Amino acid sequence: MARKTPEIPGSSLADIAFMLLIFFLVTTTMDVDSGLERKLPQWQEDQVEDDSQIKERNVFVVLVNRDNNLLVEGDVIRIEDLRERAKEFMANPYNEDNLPEKVLEEVPFFGPVEITKGVISLRNDNDTKYGTYLAVTNELVGAINELREELSKSKFGKSYDKLETEEQKAIRTVIPSKISEAEPKGKNI
C-alpha cells in the first residue's frame, strides 16, 4: 500500500473561526439611533394667523435671531437660563398676573385640577444655525419633561417613565406640551 496522504488538520479551524468572530465583534455597532422627537402640525392650505384668540399673557415668545441670540418675552437671555424661564411660565406657581391663566378641569387620578393655558411660541430666522434651534427646542421640551417628572414624583411617587399608560395620559393632560412653531414668513406676502 502506498503511503497515505496525510489528513488535513482540523485543529486550526477553531482559530480561523475565532479570527472571523473577533472581526465581526469589532465591526458590529449596536448603537441605537436617538434624537429629539417632535410632532409637526397638520398642513393647512390657507394659513390663517390666529394669534388674536390668545391673550398676550398666555404666550411665551421665544425668538432666535440670525446671530443665534435669544429673545425671550422681551429679554435677551442665555440658552442655559431658558429652561428655568419656561418652567416658571408653564407652572405659574403663585398665579401671577403676567403669567398664563389657568382653567379648572376634571382629570382622572387628579380630580378637579388647574391646567395652564400657556403656549410657547418659537420663531427663528432663516439664518439661524440648526444647532442653536435644536438646543432651544431641547430646553423647551426639557422644561415640560421636568415639570411632568416633578408632578409624577409628587403624585404617584415614581418616575414618569415607570407609570401606567393611563397615568401618563393624565399627567400629559395636566401639563400639556404646547410648543407652537411660527409659520415661515415671507412666503405669501
Partner 1 sequence: MSKFRKDDGKGLPPISTASLPDIVFMLLFFFMVSTTMREVTLNVNIKLPEATELSKLEKKSLVSYIYVGEPKKQFQTTFGVAPRIQLNDQWANVGDIQDYVIAEREARDEAEQKFMITSLKIDENTKMGIVTDIKQELRKSAALHINYSSRRKVER
User: Where along the sequence are the contacts to partner 1 (CB under 8 A)?
Assistant: 10-11, 13-14, 17-18, 20-21, 24-25, 27-30, 32-43, 124-131, 133-135, 137-138, 141-142, 145, 184
CA distance 98 to 106: 25
Least separation in angstroms between residue 165's CB and partner 1 is 16
Instruction: Report the nearest approach of partner 1 to the CB of residue 14 (Å).
Output: 5
DSSP secondary structure code for residue 127 in this structure: T
The C-alpha cell of 150 is what?
A: 416633578
Nearer Cβ to partner 1 (114/181): 181
CA 85, 83, 78: angle at the middle one, nearest 5?
80
Q: Which three cell numbers stand for residue 108?
A: 382622572
At 3, which amino acid appears? R
Of the pair 42, 52, the CB lying nearest partner 1 is at 42
Closer residue to partner 1 in complex, CB, 57/129 = 129
- Of 8 and 32, which has the nearer Cβ to partner 1? 32
Secondary structure of residue 175 in the 3-state scheme: coil
What is the SS3 assignment for 102? strand
Least separation in angstroms between CB 174 and partner 1: 19
CB atoms within 10 A of CB 147: 20
Q: How far apart are CA 107 and CA 110, in angstroms?
A: 5
Minimal distance, residue 75 CB to partner 1, in Å: 22
Minimum CB distance to partner 1 smaller for 21 or for 76:
21
CB of 130 to partner 1, least distance (A): 4
